[in-house]
Amino acid sequence: MIAGEQALAKRSCMLFSSPDDPVDVWVPELQRNLPEVEFRVAPELGAAADIDYAIVWKPPAGLLASLPNLKVIFSIGAGIDHILADPERPKALPIVRMVDPYLRDMMCEYALLGVLHFHRFMPEYQADQQARVWQRRWPHYTPEMTVGVLGLGEIGAKVAESFRQLGFRVRGWSRGEKRLPGIECFHGRAALPVMLSACHYLVCVLPLTGETAGLLDAAAFAALPRGAVVVSIGRGKHVVEPDLLSALESGQVGGAFLDVYASEPPQPAHPFWRHPRVIMTPHIAGEIVPKSSAKVVAANVRRHLAGEPIAHVVDLARGY
Ligand code: NDP
Ligand code: OXD
């Protein structure tokens, strides 16, 4: 029986599981885009053998392994580290990461917000406002300021281009060699210190892998020009947080705009909460909005039902 005939024989079934995403928004949106598919919401699995697809964020350990006929795992996230964290995950199944133009655009907005906050002296002007001080600061000259973007994938390439369009000099860094118009591209670990050496602003939009964990450590901060600003929107574990704090204390790093943390939420005693040069947000740089993302998932499910290759399957050997 070919895949299309199979779909006619049995109504396909998708399981939704997320502790953080609104099921009352997600499931109706998925249903609207995939009326031919039945939806279930964990932990109410019904007959587990019915379930063909799972769409998940931080699935509980063992959930995916309990679905004997699962065919594809969809991530409610561009990153898939939240799925790999489950040691019982069925290792042979394809994992599809979220590649969504709306998510990408939100990430660009956030990266611009983070850099511009410091570029336009907002911390200083906020302090002045508190002190009722009227004081102009001489502006940075944007064409002489360099933004570095770590990760030049679906999101990073667009982030880099957004800064280029604003008139910044832009450097980018990726694993393999890349050519992007108007962006000075670097690749590979050996090139990282050279790349960092000119970056007044550094935006990290890498996936979390064995190679990228802990990448932003004391050595990386030391390689930046003094007073550089760090915008961290990939994953918290890219940053060695005690090293960032030391670099902020010494002034080597002039400010940090952070969306992701080694542990989320950070402990109440974490020094980031009260640091005057740190802006924190709760992992919201790019949201997965069902109005847009359900369409992306639906297109991929239809490809699978038609026996066509699904898009954005993670290369598990590479880790992203
Ligand atoms: P992609 O897989 O499209 O791109 C990843 C990029 O990182 C590629 O350019 C890749 O290089 C590069 N890269 C991977 N490993 C290395 C390495 N060892 N050295 C140098 N470069 C490396 O991912 P996306 O752009 O879609 O997403 C990136 C990440 O952003 C996600 O994994 C997620 O963690 C995070 N994210 C965070 C959100 C938030 O709200 N804070 C929201 C959305 C995403 P190459 O091009 O050579 O393959
Ligand atoms: C993602 C995220 O990976 O939300 O998309 O962090």
The answer, yes or no, to whether any atom of ligand 2 lies below 6 A from the CB of 77, is yes
Nearest-CA neighbor of 302 among 101, 13, 8, 34?
Answer: 34
Strand order in the sheet with 146-150: 184-187, 169-174, 146-150, 201-204, 228-232, 253-258, 278-280
Can 283 be counted among the known catalytic residues?
A: yes
What CATH architecture does domain 101-280 belong to?
3-Layer(aba) Sandwich (3.40)
Ligand 1, CB within 6 Å, residue ranges: 78-79, 99, 103, 107, 151-156, 173-176, 178, 205-209, 211-212, 233-235, 259-260, 283, 285-286, 320
Cα–Cα distance for residue pair 191/77, rounded to 1 Å: 29
Ligand with minimal distance to 282 CA: 1
What CATH architecture does domain 3-100+288-305 belong to?
3-Layer(aba) Sandwich (3.40)
Out of 117, 187, 275, 283, the active site residue is 283
Q: Which residues does 102 contact at the CB level (< 8 Å), separation at least 6?
A: 289, 291, 292, 293
Using the mean position of ligand 2's atoms as its centre, give its distance from the Cα of residue 64 in Å: 19
User: Where do the structural domains in the chain lie, given as residue ranges?
Assistant: 3-100+288-305, 101-280
Can 235 be counted among the known catalytic residues?
A: yes
Q: Which residues does 98 contact at the CB level (< 8 Å), separation at least 6?
A: 74, 75, 76, 77, 78, 288, 293, 296, 312
CA distances from 280 to 121, 174, 243, 272 (A): 17, 26, 17, 8
Chain segment 232-289, per-residue pLDDT in tens: 999 999 999 999 999 999 999 999 999 999 999 999 999 999 999 999 999 999 999 9
pLDDT score recorded for residue 3: 52
Using the mean position of ligand 1's atoms as its centre, give its distance from the Cα of residue 161 in Å: 15
Q: Residue-wise pLDDT tens for the chain (320 aa)? A: 455 555 456 899 999 999 999 999 999 999 999 999 999 999 999 999 999 999 999 999 999 999 999 999 999 999 999 999 999 999 999 999 999 999 999 999 999 999 999 999 999 999 999 999 999 999 999 999 999 999 999 999 999 999 999 999 999 999 999 999 999 999 999 999 999 999 999 999 999 999 999 999 999 999 999 999 999 999 999 999 999 999 999 999 999 999 999 999 999 999 999 999 999 999 999 999 999 999 999 999 999 999 999 999 999 999 99
**Which atom of ligand 1 is nearest to 187's Cα?**
20
**Which atom of ligand 2 is nearest to 79's Cα?**
3
Q: Which 8-state DSSP code applies to residue 263?
A: S
Same fold, 3-100+288-305 and 101-280: yes
Contact between residue 58 and residue 20 where contact means Cβ atoms under 8 Å apart: yes
Angle at 29 between CA 23 and CA 34, to 5 degrees: 120
**Which atom of ligand 2 is nearest to 235's Cα?**
6
Using the mean position of ligand 2's atoms as its centre, give its distance from the Cα of residue 79 in Å: 5
Cα–Cα distance for residue pair 40/110, rounded to 1 Å: 33
Q: 146 in helix, strand or coil?
A: strand
pTM: 0.95
Using the mean position of ligand 1's atoms as its centre, give its distance from the Cα of residue 284 in Å: 16
pLDDT score recorded for residue 7: 46
The answer, yes or no, to whether any atom of ligand 2 lies below 6 A from the CB of 153, is no
Name the residue with the closest Cα to ligand 1, atom 30.
234
Name the residue with the closest Cα to ligand 1, atom 16.
175
Contact between residue 243 and residue 218 where contact means Cβ atoms under 8 Å apart: yes
Using the mean position of ligand 2's atoms as its centre, give its distance from the Cα of residue 9 in Å: 35
Ligand with minimal distance to 177 CA: 1
Using the mean position of ligand 2's atoms as its centre, give its distance from the Cα of residue 174 in Å: 19
> How many residues are there in the chain?
320
Cα–Cα distance for residue pair 67/265, rounded to 1 Å: 30
Cα–Cα distance for residue pair 72/55, rounded to 1 Å: 9
User: What are φ and ψ of residue 180, in 5° steps?
Assistant: -130, 130
- β-pair type (53-56, 72-75): parallel
